[in-house]
Structure 1
Amino acid sequence: MSPNSPRTQPSGITIHSGHTGRRRHAAPHATPHWVRRAGLVGGVVSALALCGAAAPAMAENPHDTAAGSAPAARTATGLADTVPLSTSVSAQQAVAALQQEALAATLAADKEQAADAARKKAAALHKAARRKAAAAAAAAKAAREQAAQAASRSTARAPLATASTPAAAATAAAPASSSKVDQLIAFLKAQLGKPYVYGATGPGSYDCSGLTQAAFASIGVDIPRTSQDQSTIGTPVSTSALQPGDLIFWGGEGSAYHVGVFIGGGQYLDAANPSTPVAIHQLADYEPDWAVRVL
């Protein structure tokens, strides 16, 4: 149909003369395909033109391009550095933990060494104190023996009888003292075999000081009841210069815990304990600590 031809009613369509009041609109014409193709081609051409324009600019300003990509590169580098950094921190923490453990072990070892040194020092001090006490006891015993020897020498150097005293009288006095010693020892030997009973003073049984008290009482000499008190009477004598009849003690002066009588010949007689009756013993087997002379 020519565009200038008058529009005619298509065949088969009946036109009513009555007007319904509705206006018919022509349907929109679809966009021809060649228009769409033209638009697509135009867009491609525009894109190519922009790229062509940008290429020289990028070539002229390479630094700007590098600068634009630098943040991305730094970001990638930062991400890459994060893993080694985390690994380094973990390693440092592990080293610190090991150092703490080593320090704790060192402190524990130092503490143990200090405790061991303290124990050794205490043992050495204790040993030194024991040696010092033993030396003091030996010195005290030596001093007592020296005092006893001095007293014995003083007694031996007593002034002689005056000229008015007959020599025969002085000579007669010695046998009297010797007689008492003999009587004392005779009484003691008569008690041999009798049992030891604590607190007993005879005649059927004795304890140590009960026997010595009874023996001296038999010759008319009164001495205290206990070994402690008996050790404080008479004249102190050295245990290396004993004479028959001397009282010998185990323990110091005033603190003796046992007493016997020296009978000569390196022997002494005593009532020792419940398992041993009155008997004679060798002085060398059980040396005394203290001695006094009463007769």
Structure 2
Amino acid sequence: MSHTAHIPSHRKPRRSSSKLALRAGVAGGVLSTIAVAASPAQAEPVTETLEMPTLTNVDLSGALSTAVAASAEATEQDALAQDLRVQEDAAAAKAAKDAKKAKEEAERKAEAERKAKEAEEKALAEAQERASRSSDRTSLSASSSHDGGGSSESSYGDSTATGSAAAIVAFARAQVGDAYVRGATGPNAWDCSGLVQAAYRQANIDLPRVSSSQSSMGTSVSLDNLQPGDILYWGSRSGSYHVAIYVGGGKYVGAQNPSSGVVEQSLDWDAPSGAVRIL
């Protein structure tokens, strides 16, 4: 007899294959169920449809028209603003120009008045001096006649300038040294007829502006019978091209030319064609 015959076996009895399969199936199903329950639920894909507005021809045309109109209005506003700035700048420039012109005119008038006053004072002083010299000459002449001598007359028939003639002569002499500028009428630059016209204005006599018209005024006088204040002319009387003022002593004052300016010269320096007397 075997020693192990009565020793019970420790092995578990084999189960039949059908029972094993059944248990396996049950276990598998349970595990599958557990696995499905444990796994997170898969999110279903979400599909969202956005509806876009349909642009019709009418909508597009309206929007474009509005944009064009807005752009045109903005352009017009810019143009108006720019035009306003231009007008303001022009107005400011004109105001500045007018102010400058008014200032220059006021200065010219003040200068002319100053020179006229100086001319009057100078004329008065010269008249007093001439009166004194005349008195001296009278005394000398009387003394010479007692001595059997004689006095000679000026070759130009001068007489002492008085009144209006003195004012004209004094004004003309006060401008000696000023510049000659064609068309100028003072106060610091003159042409020939402008100086004559201004000088006669001191005697409240208005002469024409141009030399040919000035030499046509008054009456003709001989160059041997000149008096201070007479107008000398060069050329024909009705077509003179230059005029000056006789100041006595065989001299004249005139705005000669750009290189000489206003000068006092002897008649022999540039002999005139003739003379007229207005006073």
- TM-score tier by shorter-chain length is 0.3 to 0.5
Q: 1 or 2, which has the higher helix percentage?
A: 1
* TM-score, normalised with respect to structure 2: 0.42
Choose 1 or 2 for highest CA Rg: 1
* TM-score, normalised with respect to structure 1: 0.40
Q: 1 or 2, which has the higher strand percentage?
A: 2
